Amino acid sequence: MTDEVLYGCKVFYAPLSNSFEPVQSGKTGEIGGFLTREHSWPKEWWGGQKNTPAYSDLFNVILADAHTNGQKGVKPLGEVGKNYQQFGISKVGKAREGLGFEDDVFEPADEFKGDFARGYFYFVVRYMTGGEPLNCSKSKMVGENGIDFQNWAAKMLLNWSQNDPISQKENDRNEAIFQIQGNRNPFIDHPEWAYFIFDPDMPGSKTRKFMLGADANYSLDMMKQGFQWKTGGKPKNIFRILSEAGFNYFRVRIWTNEDGPSGLNYSLKTAKQSSNAGLKPYLVLFLSDNWADYVKQPVPEKWKKLSFKDKIRKVRQYSEDTARVFENAGIKTDIYEIGNEIDFGICGEFAEDWGVRFNIDWMKKNIWKKEAAIIKAAQEGVQKINPKAKFILHLTQWWNPDFCGVFFKNMLSEGVQIDELGLSYFPTSGLNYSNTLDDFEKFVGRLSADIKKPVIICEYAFPSSEKIEGQFFNWNKTVPNYTLTVEGQQRWNADFIDRCEKSKDIDGIFYWSPEWYSDKMWTDFSLFDKTGAAKRAMEMFHACLPVGR
């Protein structure tokens, strides 16, 4: 037995006598009336299927006092406030002020809080990561994605683990379980590992919410045409491939049309499929009915005859309506990007002449003031549906922190909400030859320090060949230390991800069109070859991420 005498019931729920004499009287309405086997991590949080290892894992199955366990139920662990009920050595009541949670919680005794914490760390790493993670979104300790602790929960459990060191009984139980089922709880053997995985302030931490994202908006169109994606030689759903590879976010492109490529209906289907695969969407309102980027920002055809004042009204209403469609469809998102690569304008208000684009005074007076009004209108529309929405403004010039800094400061001075500084990063494009990873970190660090906000790389890619065809034929410029080969693409991606995850300035990165091997203009940048087979760069994504990502 792993819980001989009173280990399980005392540790987790109630002080019983020193003799192990379970009472089978059925008196569950009082402390000590009945012993039962229970799941420390409630089975209701993950479905409780008996054919899953989590159901019978001895690290999650414990002896419990039946009455106390009934009071615990599916309540999250926590620390109670002044008003609570005592059940043996455990407490149930409203969470204390400042915990970060405001509902009822179950608080175990101080001497056993560390046991609980290390057991919960084990469950998350063992069952909520990897190829087919259990979705535990029903737990109030877990985020909407169902696989990560809420920050308040992670911080609390880390404190519990530190303040209640590992006891001899906990060590003995770890060893006993190892003899029975052949694995150990690594957070008992190495409690310090919890900080590297779960500390929200630790670069690379699971709860830091680093966004490893994809902008794979050609997926549904390619499916319709019969294209497939393969890993290990077997076809698989592209959204599932991305999720299993370690991606956790999806950048959804939305044009103003109802139908057609990237129209509302297409984008909604994309968001649903990505969400179903465990990829949290963030929505990009292009405010155009086609491509809008560094060299063009067309106004939607239907809006061309509107006065500027009427266009502002239209943008506000359109943004509200679009946000409502996704909200009503059950798409959970908290991040919106307004426009795309908006250095020189948005929604028809654009500096067509290259000669004036870097004349800051001219840009402020003639473009950026109107641009700010359009962005604010879009944000106001979104906020009517999602008052807590966060916003990205996305620029192209990663190599020009001075220009970007002036742009962002100007937008802030005009009352635009900016939560994340968005940048594109295509180091082989030739847009700038300061394209090493050291250069990138220097530029991003300067910009983040200047604006005092984190950065998201909204688009990035690296090719697997220098012989690129089509529109991007000249995006084959040399990057020091990396070849434009399949191996070079793999190495560059591994190093780029590693640097970004460790950076205090970067909240996330999004690979642009990893799925799009069907058009020769992007096949070399795609993470799949022309047959649909995953390239080495795709296969390495999960391997290069920290434990628990």
Q: How many CA atoms lie within 13 A of 357 on its CB side?
A: 16
Q: Is the pLDDT higher at 360 or at 35?
A: 360
Dist. CA 456–CA 211, nearest whole Å: 8
pLDDT band at 192; cut points 50, 70, 90: confident
- pLDDT tier at 201 (50, 70, 90 boundaries)? low
Distance CA 511, CA 186 (A): 33
Lowest mean pLDDT among 199-208, 231-240, 392-401, 509-518: 199-208
pTM of the entire predicted model: 0.68
**DSSP letters for 345-369:** EETTEE---GGGTT-HHHHIIIIIH
Residue 63 or 109, more confident: 109
Residues 207, 187: Cα–Cα separation, whole Å: 16
Give the tokens for residue 277.
């695969």
Most confident region among 70-79, 85-94, 176-185, 434-443 by mean pLDDT:
434-443
Alpha carbon distance 250, 280 (integer Å) = 6
Q: At what angle do helices 369-385 and 308-328 cross, to 10 degrees?
A: 30
Whether the Cβ atoms of residue 58 and residue 2 lie closer than 8 Å to each other: yes
Residue ranges of domains in the chain: 7-198, 206-540
Average pLDDT on 255-264 reads 96
194 against 391, higher pLDDT? 391
Per-residue pLDDT reduced to its tens digit, 4-59: 433 333 333 333 223 334 444 445 555 555 677 788 899 999 888 888 899 999 99
pLDDT in tens, 107-153: 998 988 999 999 999 999 999 876 678 888 899 999 877 778 888 89
Which has the closest alpha carbon to 256: 191, 318, 324, 331?
Answer: 318
Query: Which long-range contacts does 351-360 make (Cβ < 8 Å, 24+ apart)?
Result: 358/403, 360/406
What value does the mean pLDDT of the chain take? 89
- Measured distance CA(256)–CA(253) in Å, rounded: 10
Domain 206-540 has CATH 3.40.50.620: no
Do residues 469 and 522 make contact, with C-beta atoms less than 8 angstroms apart?
Answer: no
H/E element, 169 = helix 168-181
